[in-house]
Amino acid sequence: MLRRAANLSGDADISASQGDEKMDRPELLKTFQRMATEIAEKDFGHVTEEHVIADLGIDSLGMLELVGSMERELKIAVPDEQLVGIQTVRQLLDLVEKRTKVLA
Amino acid sequence: MASDQFHAKLYQNFTTFFDKAEQERRWNPYRDVPWDRINPETPEFVATCAETFLGVESFLPDYIRKGMEAVRASSWAQRSFAANWGYEELKHSVALMEYLMRSGKRSQEQMFDFQAKLMEQEWKRPFDTARQMTIYGTFQEMATFVIYLRHEALAKQYNDEALAAVYRFNARDEIAHARFYEDVVKVYLEEDRPGTLSDIAHVAKHFEMPGVGIVPDYDARIELMREHGHVDRDIFLQKVYFPVLKYLGVTRQELVDVAKRERDERRAAQAAQ
């Protein structure tokens, strides 16, 4: 079920910024790319919304870690039941964006 | 070294579990399954799924030996549970093998050949400590419970009451095991929350069901089981992972924070070298 992501040696220092809760879509995607790169220690800078998350080598529990990191960064909370059925980056960003708009 | 309170709580957990098991959950795979209600028309793929379950359950000697090694020094309660667990799990493979032979789907010779093939491989314990293996057992028994229930429904669909009964008895044992493990993990959390959270995150990250790599044709078999048992990663999240975390009183965010802290510590250590 779980696959290990390869270590990327010499990766740049990535520091999470105190993000504004309201982000536009390209910024949300960049946040996703940054979080995925940090967690998996593999470059996800090329990822688009069309990508299927499992095809990126991120399994279901890896996805939860990614969502959790985005929740922390954006100061939002996604109910567990809404995380079921998320297959693509687009679906994940839709979910996160919706929560940021709920807070707005 | 664990506190007296730790041992006292686990003692209570085990005695409650064992008393209830003795009173309510003992079953005889030869006498309590309605063997006269096998459906001879049950399709072959259903038998293949049963055989896959049998394959995984048949590594019992490895599970018992290596599981006991992990908990032997930890507590009386955990090693006593491990002894009883072995007995209860034995009945699962007995019942599955009986089904395959009595249904005519497999001959006795085929079953002995299958067992010999299985024993060419050996299950490796995925984690080292009693606490990690208990956490592993929580997820693994709960997942097995969910999968057995789904296959019970499949057996009922084909009016195979004998196979449905086998799955129901097995599932009942699995959920009892999962609950015991959960209760032990709760005690671990009370004893050392940060350490236990770290282990939960670690086990979840590296979790695999026990048959991976050791049951012949595992990938194809699992694909069949997933297809017909309607089990996928979303079911794992919905029916196993989230309910276990909720029962333990652990949030996703706690595990994310642990993972981040450990990643940062590892990077700092690498940078310092």
Query: The domain spanning residue B147 has which CATH number?
Result: 1.10.620.20
Percentage of residues of chain B with pLDDT beyond 70 = 100
Q: Do B205 and A83 touch (CB under 8 A)?
A: no
For the residues B168-195, what does the mean pLDDT come to? 98
Predicted confidence at residue A102, as pLDDT, reads 64
Using the beta-carbon criterion (under 8 Å), do A60 and B260 form an inter-chain contact?
Answer: no
Residue A88: strand, helix, or coil: strand
Q: Is the pLDDT reported for residue A10 higher than 50?
A: no
Q: Choose the mutation target among B252, B261, B262 for the interface with A, i.e. most A CBs under 10 Å.
A: B252
What does residue B104 show for φ and ψ, rounded to 5 degrees? 85, 0
Number of C-beta neighbours around residue B20 at 10 A: 13
Instruction: State which amino acid sits at residue B194.
Output: P
Contact criterion met (CB below 8 Å) for B88 and B174: no
Nearest to A2 among B205, B252, B253 (CB): B205
> 1.10.1200.10, 3.40.50.12780, 3.40.1190.20, 3.40.50.300: which CATH number matches A25-103?
1.10.1200.10
Nearest residue in chain B measured CA to CA from A71: B253
The pLDDT assigned to B257 comes to: 93
Residue numbers in B near A68 (CB within 8 A): 252-253, 255-256
Number of structural domains (chain B) is 1
Range(s) of the domain holding residue B71: 34-272
Helix and strand numbers, DSSP H then E, in chain A: 3, 0
pLDDT band per the 50, 70, 90 thresholds, residue A11: very low
Q: How many CB atoms lie within 10 A of CB B85?
A: 23
- Residue tagged 């004893």 (tokens): B191
Chain A partners of B205 at a C-beta cutoff of 8 Å? 2, 61-62, 65
Asked if the structure places residue B188 within a domain, the reply is yes
β-strand partners of A88: A52
As a whole number of angstroms, the distance between CA B227 and CA B195 comes to: 38
pLDDT band at B273 (very low <50, low <70, confident <90, very high): confident
Establish if A83 touches chain B: CB-CB under 8 angstroms. Answer: yes
Question: Best-predicted range by mean pLDDT among A31-40, A64-73, B180-189?
Answer: B180-189
With an 8 Å Cβ cutoff, is A5 touching chain B? no
Query: Which residue among A54, A61, A72 sits closest to B204, beta carbon to beta carbon?
Result: A61
Interchain contact A59–B (C-beta under 8 A): yes
Minimal C-alpha gap between A87 and chain B (Å): 10
Q: Do B242 and A60 touch (CB under 8 A)?
A: no
Residues pairing with A52 in the sheet: A88
pLDDT of amino acid B229: 75
Residue B47, C-beta contacts closer than 8 angstroms, at least 6 positions apart: B100, B103, B105, B106
- Which of A63-72, B21-30, B90-99 has the least mean pLDDT? A63-72
Q: Which of A58, A60, A63 to mutate to test the interface with B (most CBs of B within 10 A)?
A: A60
Domains of chain A: which residue ranges?
Answer: 25-103
Task: Say which of B233, B242, B259 has its CB closest to residue A65.
Answer: B259
User: Which whole-number Å values give the CA distances from B211 to B93, B110, B130, B146, B177, in the listed order?
Assistant: 14, 20, 21, 16, 18
Angle between helices B44-57 and B108-118 (to 10 degrees): 40
Q: What is the pLDDT of residues B59-72, one digit of tens each?
A: 999 999 999 999 99
Q: Over pLDDT 70: what percentage of chain A? A: 76
CA dist B24 and B67 (Å) reads 25
Residue B28 resides in a domain: no
Whether the per-residue pLDDT at A75 is higher than 80: the answer is yes
- By C-alpha distance, the chain B residue nearest A15 is B264
Query: Is pLDDT of A89 > 60?
Result: yes
d(CA B216, CA B118): 7
Closest by CA position to B148, among listed B137, B133, B164: B164
Could you tell me which residues come within 8 angstroms of residue B35 by beta carbon, excluding any fewer than 6 positions away?
B98, B102, B162
Residues of B in contact with A38 (CB under 8 A): 263
Separation CA A7–CA A9 (nearest Å): 6
Q: How far is it, in rounded angstroms, from Cα B236 to Cα B144?
A: 10
Any chain A CB within 8 A of the CB of B139? no
- For the residues B205-219, what does the mean pLDDT come to? 91
For residue A11, the chain B residue with the least C-alpha distance is B267
Within 10 angstroms of residue A57's Cβ, the number of other Cβ atoms is: 15
B77-119 residue pLDDT tens: 999 999 999 999 999 999 999 999 999 999 999 999 999 999 9
pTM given for the model: 0.90
Q: Nearest CA to CA, how far is B252 from chain A (Å)? A: 7
Count CA atoms within 13 Å of residue B236 on its CB side: 19
Residue B23 within a domain: no
B17 located within any domain: no
Tell me, what's the pLDDT at B232? Answer: 83
Q: Say whether A85 and B234 touch across the interface (CB within 8 A).
A: yes
> B160 pLDDT exceeds 90?
yes
State the Cα–Cα distance between residues B96 and B110, nearest whole angstrom.
Answer: 14
